[in-house]
Structure formats: C-alpha cells, structure tokens
Amino acid sequence: MKKITIVLSIVISIFIIACNSENNSKTDDNTIVQKTDYGSIIGSWKISKAEGTLSDANIGMLYVFMDNGNMVYGTDSAKYIVNNDEIIITINNMFDINYKYTIIENILSLKAVKSTQVFYLEKN
C-alpha cells in the first residue's frame, strides 16, 4: 500500500509540474512570463481617450504589446504580464503598474488599480 501511495504521489507531482510549465515561458533574460491570452492584446494600440491622472499628457501615445512579454509605450520600453483580467507593466525592472483591462471589439480599456487613471486605446 505504501508503494502505491508513493507512486501515485510521484505521478500527481509530475502532472502538476508539467501543467505549470505549459502556462509559463521564459524571455531572453530568463524572466518568467505567465502565458494567458496574449493573443487578444498583441499589437499596436493608440490612446484615444484618457481620464484621471495625467490624462491629457497621454492622448495619442502608442502602446505596442509583443508576444514575448515586452512592450513599447511612446519611446520607452517595459515588460508586461497578462494575468486573468489584469495587465502588470514593469517599468525599468523597478516598479509595477497594475491595470484591469477589457477588450471590446477594437477598444482596449486600461483602468489603473491604484489611481484614477483610465486609458481607452484603439487597435492600430
């Protein structure tokens, strides 16, 4: 009975590890990026409307999300992770900005979790 329990535990452990590794990938610098639905966000998006903090300064800015967890916003670059309904953007490997997001047709809405900032971006 102990052998069956040990074998069963090993099989379950292998299954869990295998499933976990399918949902993650590593970028060129070995940063783990959780894969979720990158497909819908990949591409170029231009801010057409903004509300809250620094809203006017961001109108017209282009965000480009790549399929490897890298992004460009304006003339700067960052890393991002899509996690369910949230995008976490890491700037200069120093700080994170968390946004709740939705995509309806060709409009990406980014609502900052810790401020009043809201961006509406149109797919380019």
Judge if pTM exceeds 0.75. Answer: no
What CA–CA distances, in Å, run from 93 to 7, 25, 33, 112?
42, 18, 14, 19
Where are any strands of DSSP class E within 9-117?
A: 24-26, 32-34, 43-51, 62-65, 70-73, 76-83, 86-91, 95-104, 107-112
Other C-beta atoms within 10 Å of 86: how many? Answer: 14
pLDDT at 110 over 50: yes
56: in domain: yes
On whether residue 117 sits in a domain, the answer given is: yes
Predicted confidence at residue 55, as pLDDT, reads 84
Domain that holds residue 36: 26-123
Confidence of residue 57 (pLDDT cuts 50, 70, 90): confident
Poorest-confidence range of 11-20, 32-41, 67-76? 11-20
More confident residue, 19 or 85: 85
Within-domain flag for 4: no
Q: What is the pLDDT of residues 29-40, one digit of tens each?
A: 544 444 445 568
Q: For residue 101, is it within any domain?
A: yes
- Residue 110 falls inside a structural domain: yes
Is residue 13 a part of any domain in this protein? no
5 part of a folded domain: no
Query: What total of structural domains would you count in the chain?
Result: 1
For position 80, which CATH number holds? 2.40.128.20
